[in-house]
Structure 1
Amino acid sequence: MPLHPAIAQALASLPAPPPGPLNPAAMRAGEESQVPPLADRLPLHSVADLTAETAVGDVPVRVYTPVEADSYGVLVYFHGGAFFLGSLETHDHVARSLAKETGLKVVSVGYRLAPEHAFPAGLEDCYAVVRWAADNGESLGWDGTTLAIAGDSSGGTFAAAVAGLAHDDGFDRITHQVLFYPSLDLDFDVDRYPSLRENAVGYGLETAGLKPFNAFYLDGGADPADPRVSPIKRADLTGLPKALVITGELDPMRDEGELYGRRLKDAGVDATVSRYDGAGHGFVQHFAWIPEFHRAYAETRDFLAR
C-alpha cells in the first residue's frame, strides 16, 4: 500500500538536507532542538537520571517507573540513530510510551556514540547496563521475572547483538528481545535484499543514505561481517530469547528484519514478525501518534506479557 498520508505530508514538508558531508554535531543539535519541554511529555510515576556503574565504566541511564508498585518487570531500551545520533532526550518519548504501555520499569541507555567512540564502545555499554540491571534488581524493584531488551533501528542492532553476547556468556536472564525495524546487516549491497531496491527512494530513509549514515560507525572498526555488528551473520541462533521483530512495509531494511525473524523461528526460537503497512523507517519514533502505528506499543505489551 502507499505511504500513510500523514507520513507523506510530513516528509513533503521537510527542508532539503544541507549540501556537503554529514555533520554529527549539527545533526545532534538539530535533533535536541526538537525535544519537547518536560511539561509536554507523557507523565509517569517517576523518571530518574542515574549512573550505571558497570564493568566498562559509568554509563548514564534514565529509569522510567510507570506506576507505584512493589516490584516490576524490567525493560532495557537502546535508542536508534545510526550509531552516531540519538540520546536519552531525543528518545525520551519512546521510553515513556514503552513504560506506560507495558507496565514495566524501563531503563534507557545513554551509550557512547560514534565517531568519538569507536566500536565496540556503544555495544559494550548496552550489554553492561543489562548486566547492571540484573545485578541491581533490588534497587530497581525488579521482580526477578521479565528482563527484556528493546531497540529501534540501530538500537535494534544493539538489542540483537546483546542477546547473542549474553547467550555466548551463559547469561540467561534476558527473557525477551523487541526489535523495531532493526538494522541487522550492515553490508549495504543493494542486491542483498529486495526491499533495498523496492523502497530505495521516497519513503524517508533512502537506500543511498545507508552507507554515509553508518560510515561513522563502520569507519571506527565495526566490520559488517562480524555478528556483533550485523547480527544476521550469526550462524547459530538457537537458544536466543523469544523475539518480536517489527518492520515497516516501505523501509529499505524491511527484508533483513523479516529474514532474521524467520531464521530465529527456524532455530526454534519463539519469534513473531509483524509488518506495519504504509510505514517507512522510524515510524515508532516519529509517527506513533498515528493510531495505526501506536499499536506497536500495544503489540509489544502483549508480547512481553506472554
Structure 2
Amino acid sequence: MILYSPMHFISNINRFIITAFIIFNSFSAYSANTGHDEYSERNEADSFIARMPEKLQERQTEAIRKAMSGNNDLLLNVRNARNTAAKLPNGVYRTDISKSLTLFRSKRYDNDAIPLLVYFHGGGWVIGSINSCSRYCAAMAERGIAVLAVDYRLAPEHPFPEGLKDCIDAVKFACKNMEEWKCSSISVGGDSSGGNLAIATALSFPENTFSSLITFYPVTKAYADNSESWKLFGKGFGLDSELMNAFNEAYTTKSHNPLVSPAEADDHALAKLPPTLLVAAERDILRCQGAEFAERLKNIGIEQKYILIPGSVHLFITVDGQPTAFKHSVNESSEFIFRHSGQATQ
C-alpha cells in the first residue's frame, strides 16, 4: 500500500490550479488573437435556445403545411411576427426605392463611391422581409457599404422560380443605378434561404458581374441530406429538420435543380462564382452542406473563406440574441467585401 503525504496532495492541487490557469489564459489569448469570443458565442447561443418559445418550430411547420393546402391564415401570423424593423444606428438611413427594394446607407459616406451589397433575407423562402434583415443591413451601412435589401415573393404562394426571378431583377436594377447611388462595385449575399438565393443569383449572371458573394449558413441542398449535422442538430437548435423539410417542399418540387440546390451544379457552372465567404453556425443542421460546398469551391479554384462560428446556432443574422456571432459576421463580411472591391476598409 502506497501512502501519500499531505504535501503530495497540495503539490497536485497546485499543479491542477496552474494547469487550469494556463488553459484559461491560452483560451483568452486565442480569442483575442482571432478577434472574437468563443465563450460568449456559445453562451449566447445556449441562452437564445433556452428563450425560444415552446413548440415554436412545430407551430411554424403547421402554418406552412396549412398554407400549402390553401389556408394561409396561420402563416400570415408567422410572417407578421418576423416583420419588425430594427432601430437604425445614428447616421444610417433607409430609402424605399420601390415596394420591394430598400437602400441602406450612412450619411457619413454620402459623398463617397462605396461598395454595394444586394441582400436577400432568410426565412425558408416562406417567411421574412426587408425588416427582418434590417439589423444586418444597417450594420453594414454603418461600415461604409450600401445595402440594397430585397423583398422577393414568398412560397408557397409563389414557388420557385418566382422568388429567384425577383432577386435577379433586383440585381439588374442595381446595375443600372450604380452611378446614381454612388456605388463602386456590386456584391450579392444572403442568410439561410437568402444565401441560397444569393448563390443561385450569382450563377444566373455572367462571370465577373459580382466582386464577392456573401453567405451565412446557406441552404445548398434543398432536401434532407441526412448528414452528421442534420442528425445531430435536427431538433432544438433554431432550425428543426421537420421545419426545414416544410420549407423545402413549400418552395419547390424540383429539389435537384442546380438553381434550387447549388450543390447539384456542375463544376463548370460553379467556376463562374466570385470570391465567396461562407459563415456557418456550429450547431446547425445546414453546417455540413455548407462546409462541403465551401470545400468544393476551393477544389475547383474559387477563392473562398469558410468560417465556423463556435457554439452558434441558426438565425444569428436575422433574429436578435447572439450578438457576438452577429458582430463577428458583420466584421468578416464587411472586410471581405472591401478587400474584393479593391477599396480599403472604412
Give 3-state SS (helix, strand or coil) of 1:118's partner. Answer: coil
Summarize the Cα distance change of 1:227–1:131 in structure 2 as closer, same or farther, 3 Å threshold.
same
Aligned length: 287
**Do 1:32 and 1:89's aligned partners in 2 also have CA atoms closer than 8 Å?**
no
Question: Partner letter of residue 29 of structure 1?
Answer: N
> 1:54 — aligned with what?
none
Rounded to whole Å, the distance in 2 between the matches of 1:293 and 1:81 is 17
Give 3-state SS (helix, strand or coil) of 1:75's partner. Answer: strand
Q: Deviations over 1:111-145 (max 9, x none)?
A: 111111121011011011112111121222122xx
Give 3-state SS (helix, strand or coil) of 1:278's partner. Answer: strand
After the TM superposition, which residues 52-201 of structure 1 pair with which residues of structure 2 at under 5 Å, given as runs? 60-66=100-106, 67=108, 68-101=110-143, 103-143=144-184, 146-166=185-205, 170=206, 172-190=208-226, 193-201=227-235
* TM-score normalised over the length of structure 1: 0.86
> 1:55 — aligned with what?
none
Give 3-state SS (helix, strand or coil) of 1:140's partner. Answer: coil
Matched, 1:46 2:103: no
Say which is worse superposed, 29-38 or 170-179, in terms of deviation. Answer: 29-38
Question: Partner letter of residue 138 of structure 2?
Answer: R
Give 3-state SS (helix, strand or coil) of 1:173's partner. Answer: coil
Rounded to whole Å, the distance in 1 between the matches of 2:44 and 2:295 is 31
* 282, 288, 293: which one aligns with 1:249: 282
CA shift, 1:281, in A, is 1.1
**Do 1:28 and 1:86's aligned partners in 2 also have CA atoms closer than 8 Å?**
no
Note the residue ranges of structure 1 that are not aligned, 5 or more in a row: 52-58
CA shift, 1:300, in A, is 0.6
Percent pairwise identity: 27
Note the residue ranges of structure 2 that are not aligned, 5 or more in a row: 1-37, 65-71, 340-346
Matched, 1:12 2:50: yes
CA shift, 1:226, in A, is 0.4
Q: Deviations over 1:192-250 (max 9, x none)?
A: x21111222231212232112332112xx4x1110000011111221310000000110
> 1:56 — aligned with what?
none
* 266, 270, 273: which one aligns with 1:235: 266
Question: Partner letter of residue 65 of structure 1?
Answer: R
Give 3-state SS (helix, strand or coil) of 1:29's partner. Answer: helix
Give 3-state SS (helix, strand or coil) of 1:305's partner. Answer: helix
Summarize the Cα distance change of 1:115–1:262 in structure 2 as closer, same or farther, 3 Å threshold.
same
Query: Which protein has the larger Cα radius of gyration, Structure 1 or Structure 2?
Result: 2
